[in-house]
Amino acid sequence: MTQPLPFIDLQAQYRRLKPLIDERVMRVLEHGRFIMGPEVEELEDALGRFCDARHVVSVASGTEALRLPLMAEDIGPGDAVFMPGFTFTATAEVPVSLGAEPVFVEIDPTTYNIDLPALADAVAAVRREGRLRPRAVVVVDLFGLPADYAALGRLCEREGLLLLADAAQSFGARLGNRRVGTLAPVTATSFFPAKPLGAYGDGGAIFTDDAAKAAIYRSIRVHGAGADRYDIVRIGTNARLDTIQAAILIVKLDAFPAELAAREHIAQTYDARLPAAVKRPPRTPNTVSAWAQYVIEVEHRDAVQTALGRAGIPTAIYYPKPLHLQTAYARYGHGVGSLPVSEALCERVLALPMHADLDDATIDRICGALANALAA
C-alpha cells in the first residue's frame, strides 16, 4: 500500500521555513514579551503593506476578527445579520453570541458566494416583517474566492448596512488589482494553521481604512481600555494575538506571495488533469483565489470519498450541512427546501488536498485515484 498523503502538509512548509521560524520564536522566548510584544505591531504593519489596508488589528482568532467589528457597532438583540447559509459556523455563531439573529441567504451556484438578488430580497423581507432591524451583511469568500464586493458595497450603502467580509478563507486573494483586506469597509481573516496564511495556533486580523473603527477594535481587544489599561471606556474582551504567533506569521507572510503562486499553479494543474466528469471549482473574471480549499463537485460523493480514502488520498467535506439545517441554527431558518442550492451542494462537494508544497507528481496520483474511483 502506498503512503497516505497529508491533506495539508504543514510539516513540509515547516521544513522549508524552519531556520527562520525557529530564530524568530527563540527571539520572543529571549525577550519574554509574550503578550503584545513588538512582533505584534511588526506583523500588523507587514500585513497592512501586503494588502494595502491602512489599519490592521491582529486578534486571537478569525472568530474574534468577526466579533469585534459587530461589537463595535453595538449589534445585539433585535438586530438582523445577513449571511450565506453555506458557510462555517463561526460566521453565524458570532452575531448569535451577541444576541442578534442570523438571516441565512442562498448562494450563487456559479461562485458559492452569497446570491445578490436573494440578499436584496431577504433584507426587504426583514424590513417588511418589522420584527428585526437589518444591521449588517457578513459576506464569506468561500474556499478563497472573493465575492462581488462592488455590487455588495452598493447594496449595503443603499440599505445602511455594515458590510463585513469574512475573509477567513481568502486572505491573499485578489479582485482586479486589489487584495482582500481592502475590498470591504471591514475585513476579518483567520490565521488558523490550515488557512492559506496560518499560524501555529489560533490567530486572526481585522483590516479597515477607517482609523476611528480601528481604534475601537484595538480598545475592545484589550477589555475596552481607554487612555491606559485601567481606564475602561467600553465593554471589551481579551482578543489579543500571542506574540509567538505574530513572530511565526512574520516569517510565513514573507513566504506567502510565492505560496499563493504555488497554490494557483496547483489549482490550474488540477483543472487540467482531473477527469472530465468532475466539476471544477468556480473562478470569476479578474480574480485570483487564495485557494484555501480546492473543492470539486461529483456524483455519488460519499462513495468517491471512501474509494479515495482506500487509495490513501485524504479528502474533506466543506460543508456536509448548511447552517439553516444545523440543530443549533434551525430556529433561525426555514427548514429543508428553503435554500435549495446550498442544500444540493452539500451532497456534492469534495475538497482535495491543497497546500503550497503539493507537487505535480502527487497531483497526478490524486487525479488517477479519482479517475479509478469514478470508474468503479
Ligand X SMILES: Cc1ncc(COP(=O)(O)O)c(C=O)c1O
Q: Which of 69, 70, 80, 91 binds ligand X (CB under 6 A)?
A: 91
Chain positions 254 to 273 lying near ligand X, rule: CB under 6 A, are none
Q: Which of 50, 86, 143, 192 binds ligand X (CB under 6 A)?
A: 192
Q: 270: which 3 cell numbers? A: 488540477
CA–CA distance, 247 with 37 (Å, rounded to integer):
9
CB 263 → ligand X: shortest distance, Å? Answer: 16
Q: Does 202 bind ligand X (CB under 6 A)?
A: yes
DSSP state of 333: S
Q: 47: which 3 cell numbers? A: 500585513
CB 326 → ligand X: shortest distance, Å? Answer: 14
Residue 223 backbone dihedrals phi, psi, to 5 degrees: 60, 25
Q: Which of 90, 206, 266, 288 binds ligand X (CB under 6 A)?
A: 90
Q: Does 332 bind ligand X (CB under 6 A)?
A: no
Residue 163 backbone dihedrals phi, psi, to 5 degrees: -105, 110
Q: Does 113 bind ligand X (CB under 6 A)?
A: no
Q: CB-hemisphere CA count at 13 Å for 185? A: 19
Please, where are the H alpha helices in the chain?
10-31, 38-51, 62-72, 89-97, 116-129, 149-159, 211-221, 243-273, 301-310, 340-346, 360-375
Q: Which of 13, 58, 61, 315 binds ligand X (CB under 6 A)?
A: 61
CB 201 → ligand X: shortest distance, Å? Answer: 10
| 3-state secondary structure (DSSP) of residue 299 | coil
Q: Which of 13, 58, 87, 287 binds ligand X (CB under 6 A)?
A: 87
The size of the interface with ligand X (CB under 6 A), counted in residues, is 15
Q: Does 136 bind ligand X (CB under 6 A)?
A: no
90/367 with CB nearer ligand X: 90
Burial environment of residue 102 by CB neighbours within 10 A (0 to 12, 13 to 18, 19 or more) = buried
Only one of the segments 61-69, 208-216, 264-272, 343-351 lies at the binding site for ligand X (rule: CB under 6 A); that segment is 61-69
136/278 with CB nearer ligand X: 136
Enumerate residues 6+ apart whose C-beta is below 8 A from 340.
106
Only one of the segments 11-19, 69-77, 82-90, 217-225 lies at the binding site for ligand X (rule: CB under 6 A); that segment is 82-90
Q: 59: which 3 cell numbers? A: 486578534
Which residue, judged by CB position, is nearest to ligand X in the bound state? Answer: 62
Q: Does 62 bind ligand X (CB under 6 A)?
A: yes
CB 94 → ligand X: shortest distance, Å? Answer: 8
Beta bridge partners of 208: 55, 186
Q: Does 82 bind ligand X (CB under 6 A)?
A: no
CA–CA distance, 80 with 130 (Å, rounded to integer):
11
CB 371 → ligand X: shortest distance, Å? Answer: 30
Only one of the segments 60-68, 231-239, 254-262, 337-345 lies at the binding site for ligand X (rule: CB under 6 A); that segment is 60-68
91/287 with CB nearer ligand X: 91
Chain positions 152 to 171 lying near ligand X, rule: CB under 6 A, are 166, 168-169
87/305 with CB nearer ligand X: 87
CB 71 → ligand X: shortest distance, Å? Answer: 15
Residue with cell 455519488: 300
CA–CA distance, 198 with 206 (Å, rounded to integer):
15
CB 139 → ligand X: shortest distance, Å? Answer: 10
187/287 with CB nearer ligand X: 187
Burial environment of residue 212 by CB neighbours within 10 A (0 to 12, 13 to 18, 19 or more) = exposed
CA–CA distance, 11 with 98 (Å, rounded to integer):
37
**In degrees, to the nearest 5, what angle opens at C-alpha 66 toward C-alphas 142 and 17?**
70
CA–CA distance, 237 with 222 (Å, rounded to integer):
6
Q: Does 88 bind ligand X (CB under 6 A)?
A: yes
Residues near ligand X (CB under 6 A) are 61-63, 87-88, 90-91, 140, 166, 168-169, 190, 192, 202, 204
